[in-house]
Each structure stands twice: as C-alpha cells, then as structure tokens.
Structure 1
Amino acid sequence: MTSNPYTVADVMTTKVIAVTPEAGFKDIAAAMGRWKVTALPVVEGEGRVVGVVSEADLLPKEEFHEHRPGLIEQMHRLGDTAKAGSTSAENLMTTPAVTIHPDATLPQAARLMTDRHIKRLPVVDADGTLKGIVSRADLLKVFLRSDDELAAEIRRSVIRRLFPLSHEAVRVTVSQGIATLTGRVRDHTLIPMAERLAHSVEGIVDVHCLLRDEGRTQPGRV
C-alpha cells in the first residue's frame, strides 16, 4: 500500500573503480589508496564481474613479508599463503563475487552484507555486468530524508489510503525521523496497520501511534 520501496539502484554509486584480472598488486593498492576504497570489483570483457579484491586479500603479502610460514601454518592457511605469493588480481581476488541486482530492496542488501560480513556489493545486471556499487553508507542515505518529506509520504501513502473518509482528522508530525500520528479515525481496526506501514517508510526511525477511534477515548494500540 505504501509507495514503492527504495531499491539499490536509488542509492548506489554509479562511478565505480574496477580492475582487470591482469592488474598488478601495486596497481591495486594504489587504486585503493587513491580512491579511498577498501575493495575493488574485478571485471573482464564488457564489464562482467568475476571477483572482488579487497584489503584483506592484500594483507597476507605484508603479514608474511618478514617470515616464511611454517608447514603447519601453511596447511591451516592455504588461502592466505597462496595470496602472499600472488602478484595479480586474478590470483588475489575472492571469487565468485558476492553481488546484488539494482532492483533489490535496501533491507535485502543490508541482510546480504551482514550475512557475508562485507562492506560493499558490486551491483550487476542479469548478465553479471557491473552497473554500480553499493556500500553500507549508501544504505543509510534514506535516513538523510528531511522530516517534512517523511511526514508528507506518510500522509500520502498511509493515512490518505487507509482512512479516505477521516484522513483530515489525522495529524502527522516527524521529528528527527520519529513519526507521531494523532487524531481520530472511523475504522479503528486499521490503526495497527497504519502504524506498521508508517514504520515501513524508508527513513523513519520510529513511530508513536496515538490514533483513536472516533467513538473511543483511549489511544489505539497494536
């Protein structure tokens, strides 16, 4: 019932720095330093993402710089010791890359980042071609929406639709992302739904629902 949810395409960065599988170790490190990023997509051909190389992939080179790992350490850390001896993105990158599509919702992106313990996701189309990148910071952009904008969306997409006959008796205010709904409505059974839908508006931090039935004196409760 609410307006279309924000998607990854709405918040992603479209200017993406990527490297090819042939990129050298120092070039990768230089690109990370220059663009102040912690990971780079690795692409081939027309931009198809084949992996991601991150700071974590580069660190074994420094970790084992002063000492060679013993046999037992090598057995327990085969991946790290292999990367310590690698010089190109092809051998350093993590593959397959964890990616997401532009039409994914922000909660889907947030869950994927949390589950896979990563800070950013390459955004790809159906063919796996790089279209952008979305980071944790990008997902928080919705919380930069103004209180007036949030209040207007709740009035439009929640209150007017749920209470077409009594919406003018409802007051919606938002302060620091916290919405407060007050007033009297004709159908008190819809009050819990109004609170849930107001919560679902992107950028809302919390909701105080104080709506009442026209024939009652106590606030509606979920």
Structure 2
Amino acid sequence: MNGIPALVHDVMTRRVVALRGGAAFKDIVRVMQDWHVSALPVLDDTGRVVGVVSEADLLGEQEDGDADTAGIGRHGRTVRLIEAGKADAVTAAGLMTAPAVTVAPDATLARAARLMARTRFKRLPVVGPDGRLRGIVSRSDLLKVFLREDEEIAEEVRREVVVRLFGTQAATVRVEVRRGVVTLTGRVRETALIPLAARLAHAVAGVVDVRCALTGLPRRPALAPDLAGPGVPAPHRARTP
C-alpha cells in the first residue's frame, strides 16, 4: 500500500471456502460454523461466482411474521425458521441470493466500503474479469488500512498531494499526522488548490480526518506617493499659483 491508494487485493482474504449449487442446507450450516463466517459464495461448474448464501438466507429473515412460528432475529427482525423436515432437501442454488454482489481486486477500498454500505452486506466476493473467485473482502479487512503508521501516512500526503499540487511551493506546507488525523499548515500562492489538497489528503489510505489550515500569501500594502521607495520618483504635483 506504500505510495499508492489501497486496493481490495491489498487486504482481501485469499483462502476462501465456497459452495456448489447442490450443497445441502445442513452442510451449509456446518461449513459456516466450522469457518466462522456468516456468508458463503456459490460457484458454478466453471468456478464462476453465481450467488451468495448468507445466514439471512438460511433463516428466512423477514420484517414481520407470525409470533407463534417466528423468533427474534438480528436488528429486531423476526426470523422464520425453515421446517427441519425440509432442511436436507434445500440446496445452495435455491437458497442463495443471486446475482451475487461482487467487487474487483483492483477496486479501491472506498468503493468496496460504499458497496457494502449500499447493499448492507458484511462480506463481498472478489472476482476477476473472468468471474472466477479470487478472494473475500470483509468489513474488518477494510479497517486494516487504518493501522498504517502516522509517519507513513504523512510521507504519502507530502509526496502524492503536496508536492504534486504545489511543486516548488511544497516546502512552505507543513504536514503533520497524529492518530490518522492530517493537519496541513502554511501559505501557498495558488489558493484555489487548497480545497483540492484537503480532498486528496482525505483520500490517502489510513487517513481518519483532515484539518486544513492552508492560507494564501500575505498581500503587500499599496504605498502612498510620499512613501515611495528609494530610486522611485514621487509623482509630479502641480504647483498652485
């Protein structure tokens, strides 16, 4: 992640357990318990991801239901349990959510986080251009980026933001990072670039917040005619008769 934006392939889990469409209900539950996961990708015969089976799919979560046949699930939802007698007859192909919501290995962590927030999924299969499974990225994986050292973050902000934006003026900008919070101070000539500097700094992997105190260069006061500098003739004044 040093020097470039953090991508999904930097943090994803590469050792992944997956299901075939014919996997039975009880086998799915057993795999989830053995691997301590809440969702599993489902693959077709060519190894492409065609869906995902989650705990919610197995439990049949719904917003409301018969209080006599339903239990209380996560987030206050009621849960309709599939009848035990039918469990062995239910397969991953029938239970899965399809098509699967996936993310590419070269997607940014910000994109993966937005996708999780929009879909409310905790884990996303990572697939290549051929649709084959490359790994799994979870919410906890996305948080790994915030373990970067302050010094590493500061160096990247200087190199990728300050130097690129302000060039020869970069020496007038001070970058400090403490617990992931970036502080930018100093004076720059191109004040129009200050908001962009703050946005780009915020996009650096591991940055928690940005406090931008950059300002423009001080303006020189206009001199009155009588205060003209040495060698500068004072303006001619007409004599009164």
In the TM superposition, structure 1's runs of 4+ consecutive aligned residues that sit over 3 Å from their partners are 79-86
Return the index of the structure with the highest Cα Rg: 2
| Residue 120 of structure 2 is aligned to residue 117 of structure 1 | yes
- Once residues 95 and 135 of structure 2 are traced to their aligned partners in structure 1, the CA distance between those partners, rounded to angstroms, is 22
- Once residues 84 and 6 of structure 1 are traced to their aligned partners in structure 2, the CA distance between those partners, rounded to angstroms, is 47
- Once residues 187 and 92 of structure 1 are traced to their aligned partners in structure 2, the CA distance between those partners, rounded to angstroms, is 58
SS at 1:121 equivalent: strand
Q: What amino acid sits opposite 1:50 in the alignment?
A: V
SS at 2:168 equivalent: coil
SS at 1:150 equivalent: helix
Q: Which has the higher helix share?
A: 1
The alignment's C-alpha RMSD in Å is 2.8
- Map residues 1-222 of structure 1 onto 2, 5 A cutoff: 4-60=4-60, 85=86, 86-215=89-218
- Once residues 216 and 207 of structure 1 are traced to their aligned partners in structure 2, the CA distance between those partners, rounded to angstroms, is 27
Q: Percent identity?
A: 55
Q: Deviations over 1:42-94 (max 9, x none)?
A: 11223211211111122249xxxxx889xxxxxxxxx9869983432222222
Give the 3 Å change call, closer, same or farther, for CA 84–15 of structure 1 in structure 2. farther
Q: Is the 8 A contact 2:53 2:95 kept in 1?
A: yes
Q: Is the 8 A contact 2:183 2:211 kept in 1?
A: yes
1:75 is matched with none
Question: Structure 1: 5+ residue runs without aligned partners?
Answer: 62-66, 70-78, 218-222
Q: How many residue pairs align between the two structures?
A: 202
Tell me how far 1:26 sits from its aligned partner: 2.1
Query: TM-score with structure 2 length normalisation?
Result: 0.74
Q: Is the 8 A contact 2:198 2:210 kept in 1?
A: yes
Query: TM-score with structure 1 length normalisation?
Result: 0.80
Question: Structure 2: 5+ residue runs without aligned partners?
Answer: 62-67, 71-79, 221-241
- Once residues 57 and 219 of structure 2 are traced to their aligned partners in structure 1, the CA distance between those partners, rounded to angstroms, is 63
Q: Is the 8 A contact 1:178 1:206 kept in 2?
A: yes
Q: Deviations over 1:91-115 (max 9, x none)?
A: 2222221112212222222222222
